[in-house]
Structure 1
Amino acid sequence: MLPLSFSLEDRTRECTNLLARKRYKDPMNRASLLTQADWQRALTNDQARAAELFGRPEAEQKRLGYFHTLREICQQPWTWLHTCDRMMASRERLRQHVAGIRSLVLTGSGSSEYAAQCVCLPLQNELGISTESISGGALLMYGGGTLSLGRPGLLVSLARSGDSPESRGALELMLDTEPEFKHVVVTCNEQGSLARDSRLHEKVHVITLPSETHDKSLVMTSSFTNLLLAARFIGMLERPDEYRNLCEGLSKITGELIRSKFDSLAKIASTDFRRAVFLGSGSRFAASREAALKMLELTSGRVTTLCETYLGFRHGPMSYVQDDTLIVCNLSCDSTIRAYELDLLHELDRKKLGLSKLIVGEDIPDSVVREGDGVIECQGLTELGDEESPTVCVVVAQLLAFFRCLEEGLQPDSPSEGGIINRVVEKFPLHTPS
């Protein structure tokens, strides 16, 4: 985990405001970036809830069970810069693996699968080949029958720990049965069995992300966004400067978002909702899947969740919305897509559905904000574009779920009552095809 400083000095406010005014697309001199410690001082100075949480002694934070999760959420803007460096160092090996392929498959389990889904659209558009996300479980049970017919292909495995049974089992099965597939493993755990065992295969290139991305908390936060950004590089191998600018732009936008919206998200999390719906289009629908899982995990199922696309919501799932439902709306920057999304928000308001909405995006129109709704303005999302916004949307959801966990009297570092779920999926038998 990255070291953090949490004193309440005021000397960085001017520097923080200057950073917020800079355009994300301008190449950034690393020396111009706020240090993580400086940013943290600004956060605790400006946001009362942050000052309260970070101001407690470390031992007390650990006793209350939020020490790791809070830091792992807040450190993300800096971890992305380190992951950028790590991926750049693997550029030539990745180019060799991508050369000549006719299909790309990304795989993972749980949150790792959702990270893969977040990047499929941009990768397919940039590489011009069939690109899909297939869960590790589907590969394990159905084998090559789930894969695209395009050969040769590349299978990219994403994993936080690399110790879950299906991650290793799926890769081993594909190595045995799909000779025309090359492999890349991206993991946050250098010592995990997936990384360790994969290094023995000449067809597998292993990339381990910086150690601070290997969350100590039960839930995936830093690991999720860093796996997402690592996979995103595969479509930008011939444009490394653009990739660096993307990572730096996301870092700036998200750092400012956390610094300015920390207390707002804490307040929204304290409202009386027992259900949460997460809406998104395209890549933001994949982000909504992760957002729904975070709320479910961090509240130990006390807040039930649903994720759906805006257009799909009318086809039955709208019946999930009751008077105690928070509706989280991730808005597109594309004018045509947003028009469809706003139509649904107007319909929800007309039907007076739900407790309230939380609307996330840039230039959110007043016409869709009713009394009691929350608005998270994310300056810079339009310049980044729709396909790059899932990372930001997920961080908003992480903080919302973190605060709701505290409201429920649970411990974010280990929220599962009775140990129903674990940080690493428990071992289970792997069955070989007969």
Structure 2
Amino acid sequence: MSSLHKKTKENDTLAMLLEKPAEAQQAAGYADTLREILQQPATWRDTLQRIHAPTAQSLLANALDPRPAHLVLTGSGSSIYIGECLAPLLQASLGIPVQAIAAGTLLTHWRSVLPPGPGLLVSLARSGDSPESAAVVNTLLSEAPAWRHLFVTCNAEGKLATHYRDEPRASALVLDECTNDRSLVMTSSFTNLLLGALGLLGDALTADAVEQAAANAQGIFDQHVDAIAALARRDMHAAVYLGSGAAFGAAREGALKMLEMTGGKVVTMAETFLGLRHGPMSFVHPHTLVVAMLSADPAVRPYECDLLRELSRKQLGMAKLVVGDDIPADVLSAGDVAINTSPSASNPDIPPLLAGVVAAQLLAFCRCLELGGKPDAPSEGVLTRVVEDFALHGAMP
């Protein structure tokens, strides 16, 4: 019997997991991941204080001075999905072209994909030790000297934080060590790196938005874990994650979390709401869970809700998990789960975006336990916390 079936009388899944002694949590393989998911509200507040501190504000302001012609966000795995969340938010606020390009793509195709300089390359990294991270920086410092570099990382001892201290074209913003997740999967590191890079907005990233995001996340922990765990106990073979704009990066991250934590036993896909109609809707079968991350934009929301109504009308999917502000009742069917979030007037996209990420983390976590896995180290022998070194062909040393 899986650990999620051993429930308390009150069906309080989270309390049941937390009441076990630390040694038992470690033995069950979930201690690090659960702690790192639950610490997010507190770490978001800390990250905001860090990036609003005078030293960090000066560092971030200098990264944008002189004003770059282009801003590129890069990283590998979950980190590039952070970039995909950030790109539309930064472009809308900074008024310069912003795009996310995976570090692996820059390593092999930088000549054809890197926009003309002068530009700013923002490298997002939990450890800063992935092989392609430093290789991309080294190559561009030599071959694209008009580009400057900003590293946002959770690891003060990583290569990105330590190897370029004497390089005038590079600077590093290092977050608190507790965000350097010990679990194989990125959870609090994902959301804090996202907020750390939003420090480029300066005072435009408000305390109100981060506080509302923290309250929404705590509300999920307090009120919705049982419902999420119940979805995870169902006969789920696949999951499709839907998001628009910045939330598409969150959808991609949600799909990766489920794939990682279940060792591929749950097949996943990420799509935009409008993109689902163009072929990928065939992926939504009776054992497919639909995870929908709704936009706060009133111009976008009607398209998303129409798609959810269409899925209900066609009776597609096992169930829906819908996250967002003011979820209309008519997009839900029997067995669906709605997580209503509260908005922020100053940064309306950020609270629902982070709530969607947190809900997806918990869903993958619960499904992993339901399948008898260990969230701290899923796919043992296949994945490692930091990608192992590999040959760098033609890259600068």
Q: Indicate the TM-score class for this superposition, using the shorter chain for normalisation.
A: over 0.9
Give the CA deviation at 1:110: 0.7
Residue 156 (structure 1) aligns with: 122
Q: Flag structure 1 segments of 5+ consecutive residues without an equivalent.
A: 1-43
Rounded to whole Å, the distance in 1 between the matches of 2:321 and 2:80 is: 25
Say if 2:370 is the partner of 1:407.
yes
Residue 9 (structure 1) aligns with: none
Residue 390 (structure 2) aligns with: 428
Q: Which has a greater percent of helix?
A: 1
Q: Is the 8 A contact 1:121 1:387 kept in 2?
A: no
Say if 2:158 is the partner of 1:192.
yes
Say which is worse superposed, 329-338 or 355-364, in terms of deviation: 329-338
SS in 1 for 2:101: strand
Q: Structure 1 length normalisation: TM-score? A: 0.85
Give the CA deviation at 1:253: 2.0
Residue 54 (structure 1) aligns with: 18
Residue 394 (structure 1) aligns with: 357
Give the CA deviation at 1:379: 2.4
Give the CA deviation at 1:381: 5.9
What is the letter of the counterpart of residue 183 of structure 2?
S
Rounded to whole Å, the distance in 1 between the matches of 2:228 and 2:344 is: 19
Residue 110 (structure 1) aligns with: 77
Say if 2:263 is the partner of 1:300.
yes
Say if 2:250 is the partner of 1:284.
no
Q: Is the 8 A contact 2:212 2:344 kept in 1?
A: no
Give the CA deviation at 1:228: 0.5
Judged with a 3 Å threshold, the aligned counterparts in structure 2 of structure 1 residues 298 and 167 are, in CA distance, closer, same or farther, namely same
Residue 271 (structure 1) aligns with: 234
Say if 2:30 is the partner of 1:66.
yes
Say if 2:49 is the partner of 1:82.
no
Alignment of 1:247-258 (within 5 A): 247-258=210-221
Give me the identity figure in percent.
46
Rounded to whole Å, the distance in 1 between the matches of 2:111 and 2:140 is: 7
Residue 246 (structure 1) aligns with: 209
Q: Is the 8 A contact 1:144 1:177 kept in 2?
A: no
Residue 374 (structure 1) aligns with: 337
Q: Structure 2 length normalisation: TM-score? A: 0.93
What is the letter of the counterpart of residue 394 of structure 2?
T
1:53-75 Cα offsets, whole Å, 9 max, x none, are 11011111100011000000000
What is the letter of the counterpart of residue 372 of structure 1?
G
SS in 2 for 1:155: strand
Residue 127 (structure 1) aligns with: 94
Q: CA RMSD in A?
A: 1.9
Give the CA deviation at 1:153: 1.2
SS in 1 for 2:323: strand
Judged with a 3 Å threshold, the aligned counterparts in structure 2 of structure 1 residues 162 and 346 are, in CA distance, closer, same or farther, namely same
Rounded to whole Å, the distance in 2 between the matches of 1:388 and 1:374 is: 18
Q: 1:342 aligns with which of 299, 305, 324?
A: 305
Rounded to whole Å, the distance in 1 between the matches of 2:101 and 2:48 is: 25
1:69-109 Cα offsets, whole Å, 9 max, x none, are 00000000000111112222311121112022221111110
Residue 223 (structure 1) aligns with: 189
Judged with a 3 Å threshold, the aligned counterparts in structure 2 of structure 1 residues 377 and 280 are, in CA distance, closer, same or farther, namely same
Rounded to whole Å, the distance in 2 between the matches of 1:353 and 1:68 is: 36
Q: Is the 8 A contact 2:287 2:318 kept in 1?
A: yes
What is the letter of the counterpart of residue 53 of structure 1?
L
Judged with a 3 Å threshold, the aligned counterparts in structure 2 of structure 1 residues 387 and 210 are, in CA distance, closer, same or farther, namely closer
What is the letter of the counterpart of residue 135 of structure 1?
A
